[in-house]
Structure 1
């Protein structure tokens, strides 16, 4: 066989090997657990003093550590439970963002605690004190949260009233959880800057961050994930899950969010079937809505919960 012909036949193999090599690096970057929370973006460094004020507050609280098993594999999941100052059966379950943990949600924990709620701050699989090697971007976590809900009911009783709250990946996690069977104790949901689906989100970030096209890289990353975690990334969709949601939901999104584009909240808002509200926060970037004006954020959240805490599915 002539050398030129052989090279021509080998070329697709070199391309495929190069694609899979790049996909493996992308997968490691995006999906592998990290044991230290990455530094926040430069635009949010101005909130550092406020952030650590809330973290220090959390460390002074009489918290309890809870453990459960993951729904599908032998993983130990960890959460911090903060009982309300006065005994109550009302609890907010708070889902953190990508490569964060429960502690990074201390500002929201403080807000809900001041509103009189018990607060549960889980560490998702592959985050914080929970075990796990790979991040599932909320897809597997949504079913772990079903177990956390049952743990809250076990703690506070059948009269429990539960609010689901999440930011960024946590917002998408709660949106995806909304489409699953949930007990009547779950009354309403608040999702701050959650993505519509991981396929569009990763395609957007591939182009924005790495200047790479969706094809062939995202299908290759998905193939790796099917092998490692057992699901195709195309399944990871807030929109599809919200089509099965009939509970009240408040969507919050920053007007200038360049990480999860504004059109994603529109898709999520259109998809849900229950009572819904939308608050676009002027001039806020990704996950900045609270920090722009904490008092205004608290007021919006408190009013929504007050209207919907007694809601029951018919």
Structure 2
């Protein structure tokens, strides 16, 4: 009968426990890095620094334009959710757009898109998502819980503008994924169409992609552990956060925009999202554009594409 080497077994068990502990601590680090709110807007990527002067001109416009501060309170939070509403120049206009911001941004960071739609005759609603800006929330939900908050923003818009309101959902990056995930919910008939610029197909695919690209780490064991931590903190597993699954239920016309050279949310995700939706749809892959750069490369062309889509479906 073979003798058991207790010393060797003990060393193996100790090593396994050590690896498990290191994996958990690393996963907790990644969770906090990716999901914990940050009360400032991080500096933009180096490839978009050249647009800084134009960006701050748009922010200056946002600060000066007439607007209303809207709020509502969510369950379990003492603070409120926050959004800014900019009425259309023509106060009788029923045209309105809800603009969903990107990761670690806020409504103000979408000033360029707000001004574009405002000049097209729209009223504009700019929410701050959970864990961002002036809104409540300890953690970022990557659009999943935000989609439910947007249902409340839509009801407030309809109360403000009336049943004749005509609403466009628009988002960029995480905001694009937010409106894509919102598309699978029971939306009021006032919502006419969706425009999604560089949204991810799922948070599973996006985090796996970034783990490999930025940290040179495999999906396992980190992703399942981060998902478990998220379930404990926010009540759902990361596998639930899927634009693709929500888009399968979408019935609205949708316009997908994505930068050809996006290295943060790869452009193949736009194709996956496009293929998931059976509604009327269009896709524009913007030549030479990096992540969320499509507007900045040529604002006039960007506006022209959106105008043509809205003329067809809005």
TM-score when normalising by structure 1: 0.96
Instruction: State the alpha-carbon separation in 2 of the partners of residues 8 and 270 from structure 1.
Output: 48
Which of 167, 172, 179 is matched with 2:172 structurally?
167
Question: Where in structure 1 are there 5+ consecutive unaligned residues?
Answer: 310-314
| C-alpha displacement of 1:2 | 4.2
Instruction: State the alpha-carbon separation in 1 of the partners of residues 256 and 153 from structure 2.
Output: 22
For 1:277, the equivalent position in structure 2 comes to: 282
For 1:299, the equivalent position in structure 2 comes to: 304
Q: 1:126-182: per-residue Cα shift (whole Å, max 9, x none)?
A: 000001100000011011100100010010001111000000000000000000000
Instruction: State the alpha-carbon separation in 2 of the partners of residues 163 and 256 from structure 1.
Output: 27
| C-alpha displacement of 1:3 | 3.7
1:246 corresponds to 2:265: no
For 1:52, the equivalent position in structure 2 comes to: 56
1:29 corresponds to 2:33: yes
For 1:18, the equivalent position in structure 2 comes to: 22
Aligned length: 308
Instruction: State the alpha-carbon separation in 2 of the partners of residues 64 and 176 from structure 1.
Output: 27
Query: How do 1:194-209 and structure 2 match up within 5 A?
Result: 194-209=199-214
Q: Classify the secondary structure of the residue corresponding to 2:125.
A: strand
Q: 1:231-251: per-residue Cα shift (whole Å, max 9, x none)?
A: 110111000000000100000
Which of 39, 42, 45 is matched with 1:41 structurally?
45
Q: Classify the secondary structure of the residue corresponding to 2:175.
A: helix
Instruction: State the alpha-carbon separation in 2 of the partners of residues 157 and 186 from structure 1.
Output: 13
| C-alpha displacement of 1:4 | 3.3
Query: How do 1:71-90 and structure 2 match up within 5 A?
Result: 72-74=75-77, 76-87=80-91, 88-90=93-95
For 2:188, the equivalent position in structure 1 comes to: 183
1:118 corresponds to 2:123: yes
Determine which structure has more spread, i.e. the larger CA radius of gyration. 2
TM-score when normalising by structure 2: 0.96
Instruction: State the alpha-carbon separation in 1 of the partners of residues 9 and 114 from structure 2.
Output: 65
Q: Classify the secondary structure of the residue corresponding to 2:275.
A: helix
Question: Where in structure 2 are there 5+ consecutive unaligned residues?
Answer: none
1:63 corresponds to 2:67: yes
Q: 1:56-83: per-residue Cα shift (whole Å, max 9, x none)?
A: 000110111000123x543510001100
Q: 1:104-136: per-residue Cα shift (whole Å, max 9, x none)?
A: 000000000000000000000100000110000
| C-alpha displacement of 1:8 | 1.6
Q: What RMSD over aligned residues (CA atoms) do the two structures have, in Å? A: 1.0
Instruction: State the alpha-carbon separation in 1 of the partners of residues 217 and 203 from structure 2.
Output: 16
Query: How do 1:214-229 and structure 2 match up within 5 A?
Result: 214-229=219-234
Q: Classify the secondary structure of the residue corresponding to 2:185.
A: coil
CA 79–280 in structure 1, closer or farther in 2 if over 3 Å, else same: same
Instruction: State the alpha-carbon separation in 1 of the partners of residues 135 and 7 from structure 2.
Output: 54
